Structure 1
Amino acid sequence: MKLIITCIFSLTIGLSCLGQSKKAINALKTETATTIQSNYDAYNEMAMTIWDYAELGFKEEKSSTLLQTTLKNNGFTVESGVAGMPTAFVATYGSGLPVIGILAEYDALPGLSQDNSPIKTPNANSINGHACGHHLFGTGSVAAGIAVKELLESGKLKGTIKVFGCPAEEGGSGKVYMVREGLFNNVDAVLHWHPSDDNLVTNSSSLANISAKFRFYGKASHAAGSPEKGRSALDAVEAMNNMVNMMREHVPQETRIHYVITNGGKAPNVVPEFAEVYYYARHPEKTEVVSTFERIKKAAEGAALGTETTMDYEIIGGVHDLLINKTLAENMQNNLEKVGGVTYTDTEIIFAQKMQSTFTNKLDAINSVEIVKPLSTAKTLGSTDVGDVSYAIPTVGLRAATWVAGTSAHSWQAVASGGTEIGIKGMMVASKTLAFTAIDLFTNPELIQKAKEEFIQSKGDYKYKSLLGDRAPALNYRD
């Protein structure tokens, strides 16, 4: 898709005054907002195309190709298949310093099929769904990158913009491999965003996370005719789960442990010779999550011993907590407030009210305007591989209101909202905010320096070490 960018304003300011003239910088931001908004239809189409694709982690071939092609058509040089991941990419435009990065995601979630209606209605064309809004995430970030590129191309900014195509955020830890590969080493600051039900700059950390699949191997036999000859791998999974569930009483209260049985056998009258359970362990502190995971491993070993089965496990994902950079957060907050929130049509308000009637908790009817919330340190209970990026380079992000108020991530309601212009409007808020923040970084060297000083102080003596060790990307973790 070739996006035709039409500049409404013609600025004749020189680069030498960019760092001094607030009026000139505001003019650049106005131009950029107009540039992004003028391509509303094109970005709407792109996001909805990726929403339709709904490809799972490390399988986002069509989604990644669409984003890469758009960037190439707009003058970026694109390196594909980076860090051992076929759907990962780095798109670059410009030269010299500063180097500003923007993160893009595009993977969907399994088993969350939904159309774009306010009642639960599976999508007949897909069993997956964008229940975390990454179709918007990828498109909005690409839109911001292209808008900044236009300013670089015209000489109104100086430096380098990079868009990082990051696959498999949902459990695959794609960014961790990119950090490990050193792809962020020469970047001065990294910007990101995420779909949500409000407009808010991220100013609190996230949970570190380790995930793994535990596989048990037993002996098959007839469950009625010769049960004594069998050794049930499913019994081992259930024994492990029971021990881990008892362990919950004896872990720090911030700990989160979840699991699903991904394979429990095929027929009740056959003793299962193979069973698998997929675990997540989370905690605000990376050291604590490592300790919790070691205890989960002991439960698996004990379950195998007690059921006379054997066990192995595969680490699937592992991410750090998020290192907050208040310097960048305050700047992004100012830019989010400059962009402003979203105004909804009567039709969108009716859609939202119908959807809110499906929520467990009763909510007030959606307002006609989604406002921008003040900078907050409220706890974030999710996990993200952006955490690893934040330990490599100063990083900042925001949430944008792409869902009906009260919507939870990883729900059918999130899929439905993201398939409407409610989602697109929020995406445009995020894209403009990213671009505005990038403009400040390009034109204010002191902002970058202050962010780097805070980054060094916050990181302290900690030497980054991937929680994944040296394992290769788990390209088939969704199989």
Structure 2
Amino acid sequence: MAINPTHIKELFEEAVLKYQNICHQLNYFLAENPELSGEEFKACQKFVDICREHGMEVEEEFCGLPTAFRANVNNLENPQAHIAILAEYDALPDLGHGCGHSMSGSMSLLITLALHSISEKLNVNIDLIGTPDEELHGEKITMVNQGVFKKYDFAMMVHLNSNTTMPKVKFLALSAYRVRFYGKPAHAAASPWEGKNALSAAQLTFHAIDQLRQRVKPDTRMSYYIVHGGKASNIIPDYAEIQVELRHSNRAYLDTVIEKVENCIKGAAIATETSFDIEMIGYPYSDMLQNEPGIEVIKSVMEEMDLPFIEEDDSMGSSDIGNVSYQCPAFHPMLACSNDYFTLHSQEMVDVCLSEKSKEVINQGARLIGNTILSLIEKPELLEKIKEDFGSKSTLLVNS
């Protein structure tokens, strides 16, 4: 197939402008109707309906997930490559789209519509995958566990940031747990010695974890809070519940930290003569497997777009796309959406989602991913380098 790269990029730009209003309105709908993780029924249906209206085949309840889908941009018999565009659309409790998923998901759809309109000129297969429940359980990991991403040579999405753009993010591996302590109630004044204080076990766990900080590597993050600590001050608490989140830049090392924290919990239970159980919350998130050849392509596209960016290598949160990166080359640049700094998961991000500024951000993100994909089509050797880099790290694939 003869491909004129300049002509295809011009057609892509025209298509972005053609379909932009659909995706701007989708963003406003999502921002005004936020749905929690795993409950994104209206959002998912919007994506599905729009894709079908524009002639795409869509698989609903993808991987058995009620609010996931996969839409096919094209379906060649012998494609040069298989590429996945990822879309998130879940919101945060009370806050709504404080992580910018309404904008991020909408730009993924805009890329998809634009590329579908010129699909006869593409020699790669492209899918849009709706990935729900990123904020809580991490349902991309359900897809990873079913081997979904093994067929893809490249997967990408864009996340929003406040005032800085970054070609890559160093995500931390994450595991979260609910710990429940069981004791014995007693009158706190008349006969406290007859009780077994579950809250004391929880507090002792916190102190032990704090003492543990000096024995773990700097990239380790350990946080916690009390979910339930008793019912009255004059009753020895017979039940206490806490949540603990543990993170590190390397999954294998994090697993050793988990063992140490479990010993803190066991020791606290022994000291207070209580019992306990531990429940994992969601899936264990992996760190992000960085693919330098792919990151260099993203940088070059940012430069072509005159999009200022900073080289960021500090750890920044956690996401289930880290698990995807261990099954195929995956990329998650951060795109500035404001001239002012603010924290993520904030009202300021919600305000941007609802503003006129969101339109410019959605178009910019769509161009970033779209032009990255078109660069790989134009220069297949770049994609080969990405695949070679991923293959060379195959011994690290602990979550494939």
The one of 130, 133, 136 equivalent to 1:165 is: 130
Separation (CA, whole Å) in 2 of partners of 1:465 and 1:324: 15
Does the 8 Å contact 1:207/1:283 carry over to 2?
A: yes
* Aligned-partner residue type, residue 102 of structure 1: I
Give 1:226 shift.
4.9
1:269–1:36: structure 2 CA closer, same or farther, 3 Å change rule?
Answer: farther
State whether structure 2 residue 159 is matched by structure 1 residue 194: yes
C-alpha RMSD of the superposition: 2.1
Q: Which amino acid aligns with 2:89?
A: Y
Partner of 2:347: 412
Report the alpha carbon displacement of residue 38 of structure 1 after superposing the two structures with TM.
3.3
Match in the other structure for 1:116: none
TM-score (norm 2): 0.92
Q: Is 1:25 matched with 2:5? A: yes
Counterpart in the other structure of 2:320: 385
Contact 1:58 1:87 in 2 (8 A): yes
Q: Which moved more, 1:220-229 or 1:294-303?
A: 220-229
- Deviation of the 1:433 alpha carbon: 1.1
- State the Cα distance separating 1:336 from its structure 2 match: 2.6
Per the alignment, in what secondary structure is the counterpart of residue 210 of structure 2?
Answer: helix
Q: Secondary structure of 1:131's partner?
A: coil
Return closer, same or farther for 1:405/1:30 CA change in 2, 3 Å cut-off.
farther
Which among 303, 311, 317 is matched to residue 337 of structure 1? 303
Q: Distance in 2 between matches of 1:78 and 1:262?
A: 41
Q: 1:425 aligns with which of 341, 360, 369?
A: 360
* 274, 295, 309: which one aligns with 1:373: 309
Structure 1 residue aligned with 2:90, among 101, 107, 124? 107
Q: Deviations over 1:313-345 (max 9, x none)?
A: 11223111111222222222222333345xxxx
1:395 to 2:362 alignment = no
| Structure 2 CA distance for aligned equivalents of residues 283 and 206 of structure 1 | 9
> Which residue does 1:445 correspond to in 2?
380
Instruction: State the alpha-carbon separation in 2 of the partners of residues 266 and 60 from structure 1.
Output: 35
**Aligned position for 1:321:** 287
Q: What secondary structure does 1:279 align onto?
A: strand
In structure 2, the CA distance between the partners of 1:201 and 1:329, relative to structure 1 (3 Å rule), is farther
* Structural mapping, 1:200-211, within 5 Å: 200-211=165-176
Q: Name the counterpart of 2:97.
A: 130
C-alpha separation in 1, matches of 2:26 and 2:368 = 19
Structure 1 260/74 Cα, relative in aligned 2: closer, same or farther at 3 Å?
A: farther
Corresponding residue for residue 464 of structure 1? 398
SS of aligned partner of 1:190: strand
- Between the aligned partners of 1:239 and 1:276, the Cα distance in structure 2 is 13
Following superposition, the deviation at residue 415 of structure 1 comes to 2.3
Q: In structure 2, what residue type is equivalent to 1:401?
A: A
Q: Which moved more, 1:279-288 or 1:168-177?
A: 168-177
Distance 1:29 1:294, change over 3 A: same
Structure with the higher fraction of residues in helix conformation: 2
Task: Give the structure 2 partner of residue 275 of structure 1.
Answer: 240
Within 2, Cα distance between the matches of 1:162 and 1:301?
47
1:132 touches 1:409 (CA, 8 Å); kept in 2?
yes
Q: Secondary structure of 2:226's match?
A: strand
Q: Is 1:94 matched with 2:74?
A: yes
In 1, distance between residues paired with 2:168 and 2:87? Answer: 20
- The one-letter code sitting in structure 2 at the alignment partner of 1:93 is V
The change in CA–CA distance for 1:404 and 1:268 in structure 2 (over 3 A counts) is: farther
How many pairs were matched up?
A: 396
Query: In structure 2, how many angstroms separate the alpha carbons of the residues matched to 1:266 and 1:411?
Result: 32
The one-letter code sitting in structure 2 at the alignment partner of 1:464 is V
> Secondary structure of the equivalent of 2:121?
coil
Change in 2 beyond 3 A, CA 1:463/1:399: closer
Structure 1 stretches of 4+ with a deviation exceeding 6 A read: none
**Residue in structure 2 matched with residue 65 of structure 1 by the alignment:** 45
**Separation in 2, partners of 1:265, 1:396:** 45
Say yes or no: does 1:74 pair with 2:41.
no
Report how far residue 177 of structure 1 moved.
1.6
Secondary structure, counterpart of 1:128 in structure 2: coil
Alpha-carbon distance between aligned partners in 2 of 1:263 and 1:449, rounded to the nearest angstrom: 53
- The secondary structure found in structure 2 opposite 1:129 is coil
TM-score by length of 1: 0.77
Q: 1:157 to 1:298 in 2, by over 3 A?
A: same
- The CA distance in 1 between the partners of 2:37 and 2:188, in whole Å, is 37
Q: Mind listing any 5+ residue stretches in structure 2 that lack a counterpart?
A: none
User: Is 1:37 paired with 2:17?
Assistant: yes
Residue 109 of structure 1 aligns to a residue whose secondary structure is coil
1:270 Cα shift?
Answer: 4.0
